[in-house]
Each structure stands twice: as C-alpha cells, then as structure tokens.
C-alpha cells in the first residue's frame, strides 16, 4: 500500500506513535509518505520506502496566525495526487482530521477517492477537543473519517461519552519496538548517579500540568524519608521552572536531576528501579510502556487508559490520582529487594504483549478494510 501519515513531528506521544508506525510499515514493504511541518524527530535516516513532505506555511502581513490547516490540506492534495496514495492516516484529530476532510473533498472534485483514517490519541479528545472553540469541528471530522481508531478502550468510551459520534471506533493500542527499548548494560551510569546503591526513580514527560510532576516530586520526597533514593526527571515543558522551585523548597535538589529532553531515553530507563506516571489524564501512557520494556515497574495513577497497560499489583501499582500517601506506600513495596525482581520481570512480560510485531498487523488489516469499504461505496 501507499500510505500518507499526517502527524505532529514532536518528541513524544502521538508524533512518536505515528513515526514508529510509518517506519514499521516501511520495513514490511509499504510506501510511507509523512506529511508535516518539520522532519519528525525519529525520522533521521534513509529508507527506500520512506518519504517526507514538508508543509509550507506561507505567512503574510495580514495573518496574525498563518493558516496551517489550509497549507496542510493543500499539501495532502498534492501528495495524494502525485504520489498516488491509497490511504491517508491522520494522527491527533486537531487539526489533522478536518484538514484531511477538506483535502478529500477537493480530491473528489478531481475524480480521486482517498480513504481517511483518524487516530485519536488523547488530549485531542479529553482536553483540547472538548473545548467549545473546537468541539463542533472535532465531532464533524471524526464522523466524516472513513475509519477511526483510539489508542485505548477508555479513550473510545470517553469519545462516545462526550461527542456525538455516529460511527464505530476501533481500539488499536500503542506499541513498542523491543529491539530499541530494552535494558542495556549501563552500570557506570548507575554508579555515577547512585554511588551508594540508592534506588533510582524516573519520570519522563512533556512537563504539562496534566502530568502532575509535582506528585512525582512529593512521592520521591516521602520515599526518601524511608530509604536512600535518587530521582531523574526527563523532558521539558511549561511546569519545569515550578518543579525546580518545589525541589528547592523541599530541599531535595541534591538528589533530583532534571535532564531535559533526551533522545536516548532507553539509556536512562536501563538503570531505573521505578517509573512514575501520576497523570491527571492519560489515554494510554506510552512513556510507561517504554519503561516496562526496559524492565522498569510502573507506579501510576488510575487516569484514563493507564490501567489497561499497568496491571495493578503485577507490573506495578495503580493509585488514585493525587494520593501521595498511597503512592509512597506502593513505591516502597515495589522498591523492596524482596519484591523488585518480580515486578521487573512482570513489567517486561507485559511490554512484550505490545511489541510492534503484534500491533502492526491490526493497522494493516484496518487499512485494507477501510479501503475496501470506501471503494465499495463509489
Ligand atoms: O501526553 C501528551 O501530552 C502528548 C500526547 C500526544 O498526543 O502527543 O500524548 C497522548 O498520546 C500518546 C500516544 O498515543 C498517549 O500515550 C498519551 O497517553 C496521550 N496523552 C494524554 O492523554 C495526556
């Protein structure tokens, strides 16, 4: 198949899922065309089946905000037409699903039928999409897609609960490449951070409010009162300054390191004992899956789709959002040497269920079904 993938070229979340999906499809012989405004961060190599088309956003003094959606729709039209694509797969509804709808209508006037699959990732539904300034367009463009997928059962449920959706939503969970995300031997790194054999806790995120990074720091603060421990914080975002101030207030600066955005996050995960994800909202929790693949148990909140991934009492624990006391107790239980090896083993076993080789065939089958249904309607 010739597939167009539209996504945000960002460091984490939906951008990573879209890029890894495209790379996986290219590996098994499909031709994949990425359409976005910047080279996706994990697409920095040559492959004969991978193409990248940059959206040109022309500015003009009249525009306070350049109309990205129009530039994107125009680029989709030209890529579908000249590269003869079989299907467009857009990741994150806003504004990709509505731009795809517009491209589809334009192409129809030229006698070209292009099926569109929209994948809902999380905040496009649970946060931004619900806002009255976007909701009518989100509802319309989901209903107009030829296929819709969501990354967890919870996200599917939430989509039906809030939006007036008239079509089926297929759940295809996120996935991981276990060849890349695996525990590596990084003892020198562990020794540098934890010279006295302290337990190492790790959090990675985009430091937005929904991630509740303050809970990570508070739980660490409580754990550290009981056992020697260190905390690594990977990523960057709007909450970073506030979190640095919180560490100063609590006096934990010597034991907490802010590492910023890192490409090789698997190297940090390789030396971790516990991963923390106390999010307020989380449709899937890809960062937790990356940790589990590196044999790191997960202490998470019970937000959104996280419990579909983190099995309570098996791969870690699932706690009530904001319950620092409960999280502290569960963290201490996991970090106990009598329990830690079992949790690590279980985390890896669970991650194996989400290997890309298991999930990719679901997307391929869904594309084939969507193309067949669209063509049957002509
Ligand atoms: O987590 C974020 O804020 C980024 C966001 C995105 O769309 O890029 O992530 C969402 O999509 C990921 C990939 O499907 C999911 O693993 C995350 O759980 C989801 N984030 C939220 O729902 C907050």
Spell out the residues 6+ positions from residue 214 whose beta carbon is closer than 8 angstroms to its own: 239, 242, 243, 246
Q: Is the CB of 174 under 6 A from ligand 1?
A: yes
Q: For residue 314, report the distance from its CA to the centre of ligand 1, in Å.
A: 24
From the list 72, 106, 58, 94, the residue with the least C-alpha distance to 4 is 72
Whether residue 95 is preceded by a cis peptide bond, meaning omega within 30 degrees of 0, is yes
The count of residues in the chain is: 378
pLDDT at 159: 97
Rounded-to-5 percentages of helix, strand, coil across the chain: 45, 15, 40
Task: Compute the distance between CA of residue 103 and CA of residue 78 in angstroms, rounded to an integer.
Answer: 9
Q: Is the CB of 154 under 6 A from ligand 1?
A: no
Spell out the residues 6+ positions from residue 202 whose beta carbon is closer than 8 angstroms to its own: 231, 232, 233, 234, 268, 269, 272, 274, 275, 276, 291, 296
In this structure, what is the dihedral angle of CA atoms 22, 315, 212, 134, given to the nearest 10 degrees?
Answer: 40
Mutate to test the pocket of ligand 1, among 42, 119, 123, 309 (most ligand atoms within 8 A of CB): 123
Shortest-distance Cα residue to atom 4 of ligand 1? 13
For the stretch 205-252, pLDDT in tens is 999 999 999 999 999 999 999 999 999 999 999 999 999 999 999 999
What is the average pLDDT value for the chain, to the nearest integer? Answer: 96
Q: Set out the domains of the chain in order of their start, with CATH numbers.
A: 2-175+356-376 (3.40.50.2000), 187-352 (3.40.50.2000)
Q: Is the CB of 17 under 6 A from ligand 1?
A: yes
Token pair 């193409």: residue: 51
Spell out the residues 6+ positions from residue 248 whose beta carbon is closer than 8 angstroms to its own: none
* Bridge-based pairing state of the strands 316-319 and 50-54: unpaired
Mutate to test the pocket of ligand 1, among 11, 283, 288 (most ligand atoms within 8 A of CB): 283
Q: For residue 121, report the distance from its CA to the centre of ligand 1, in Å.
A: 6
Shortest-distance Cα residue to atom 2 of ligand 1? 13
Q: For residue 237, report the distance from its CA to the centre of ligand 1, in Å.
A: 14
pLDDT at 115: 98
DSSP state at residue 132: T
For the stretch 100-148, pLDDT in tens is 999 999 999 999 999 999 999 998 998 899 999 999 999 999 999 999 9
From the list 56, 122, 112, 57, the residue with the least C-alpha distance to 88 is 112
Shortest-distance Cα residue to atom 12 of ligand 1? 13
For the stretch 312-322, pLDDT in tens is 999 999 999 99
Ligand 1 atom at minimal distance to the Cα of residue 305: 18
Task: Compute the distance between CA of residue 221 and CA of residue 216 in angstroms, rounded to an integer.
Answer: 9
pLDDT at 322: 98
Spell out the residues 6+ positions from residue 44 whose beta carbon is closer than 8 angstroms to its own: none
Q: Is the CB of 92 under 6 A from ligand 1?
A: yes
Spell out the residues 6+ positions from residue 271 whose beta carbon is closer than 8 angstroms to its own: 186, 187, 189, 190, 193, 194, 200
pLDDT < 70 stretches in the chain: none
To which H or E segment does residue 231 belong?
strand 229-234
Q: Is the CB of 119 under 6 A from ligand 1?
A: no
Task: Compute the distance between CA of residue 174 and CA of residue 119 in angstroms, rounded to an integer.
Answer: 11
pLDDT at 377: 86
Q: Is the CB of 9 under 6 A from ligand 1?
A: no
Q: For residue 334, report the distance from its CA to the centre of ligand 1, in Å.
A: 26
Task: Compute the distance between CA of residue 206 and CA of residue 262 in angstroms, rounded to an integer.
Answer: 11
pLDDT at 46: 82
pLDDT at 280: 97
Q: Is the CB of 283 under 6 A from ligand 1?
A: yes
């Amino acid at each position: 198949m010739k597939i167009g993938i539209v996504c945000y070229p960002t460091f984490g979340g939906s951008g990573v899922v879209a890029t890894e999906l495209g790379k996986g499809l290219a590996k098994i012989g499909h031709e994949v065309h990425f359409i976005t405004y910047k080279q996706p961060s994990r697409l920095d190599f040559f492959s004969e089946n991978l193409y990248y088309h940059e959206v040109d956003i022309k500015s003009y003094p009249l525009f306070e905000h350049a109309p990205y959606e129009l530039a994107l729709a125009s680029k989709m039209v030209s890529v579908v037409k000249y590269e003869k694509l079989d299907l467009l797969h857009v990741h994150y509804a806003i504004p990709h699903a509505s731009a795809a709808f517009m491209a589809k209508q334009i192409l129809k006037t030229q006698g070209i039928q292009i099926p569109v699959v929209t994948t809902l990732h999380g905040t496009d539904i649970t946060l931004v999409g619900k806002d009255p300034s976007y909701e009518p367009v989100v509802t319309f463009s989901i209903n107009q897609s030829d296929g819709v997928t969501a990354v967890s059962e919870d996200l599917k449920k939430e989509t039906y609960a809030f939006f007036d959706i008239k079509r089926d939503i297929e759940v295809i969970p996120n996935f991981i490449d276990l060849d890349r995300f695996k525990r590596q031997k990084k003892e020198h790194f562990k020794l540098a951070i934890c010279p006295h054999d302290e337990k190492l806790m790790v959090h990675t995120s985009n430091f937005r409010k929904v991630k509740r990074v303050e809970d990570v720091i508070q739980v660490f603060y409580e754990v550290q009162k009981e056992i020697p421990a260190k905390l690594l914080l990977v990523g960057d975002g709007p909450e970073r300054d506030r979190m640095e101030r919180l560490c100063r207030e609590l006096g934990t600066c010597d034991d907490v390191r802010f590492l910023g955005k890192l490409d090789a996050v698997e190297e940090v995960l390789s030396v971790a004992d516990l991963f923390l994800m106390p999010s307020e909202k989380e449709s899937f929790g890809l960062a937790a899956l990356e940790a589990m693949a590196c044999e790191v148990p997960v202490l998470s909140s019970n937000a959104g789709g996280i419990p579909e991934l983190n099995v309570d009492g098996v791969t870690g624990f699932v706690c009530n959002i904001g319950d620092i006391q409960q999280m502290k107790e569960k963290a201490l239980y996991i970090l106990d040497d009598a329990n830690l090896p079992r949790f690590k083993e279980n985390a890896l076993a669970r991650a194996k269920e989400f290997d890309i080789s298991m999930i990719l065939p679901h997307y391929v089958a869904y594309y084939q079904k969507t193309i067949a249904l669209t063509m049957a309607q002509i």
